[in-house]
Amino acid sequence: MAPPRARRNPGAKRDELIAAAARVMSREGVAATTTRRIAEEAAVPLGTVHYWFATKDELVREVAAAHLAQVQAAGHDVEVAPVGTDGQGGAAEEALARLRAALAAEESLDTGRRLSLYELTTWALRTEGQAGTARDQYRAMREAARSLCEPWVRAHGPQALADAGLDDGRLDALSALVVAFFDGLALSELADPEGTPGDAVLELFSDMVGAWIASRPGA
pTM of the predicted model as reported, rounded to 2 decimal places: 0.75
96 close to 181: Cβ distance less than 8 angstroms: no
- Measuring CA to CA, which residue among 121, 177, 117 is closest to residue 146? 177
Q: Which of 40-49, 68-77, 141-150 has the highest mean pLDDT?
A: 40-49
Who contacts 198 (Cβ-Cβ below 8 Å, separation ≥6)? Answer: 103, 107, 185, 189
With a pLDDT cut of 70, the percent of the chain lying above it is: 74
Rounded Cα–Cα distance for residues 102 and 90 (Å): 18
Q: Residues with Cβ < 8 Å from 16, sequence gap 6 or more?
A: 42
- Whether 47 has a pLDDT exceeding 90, the answer reads yes
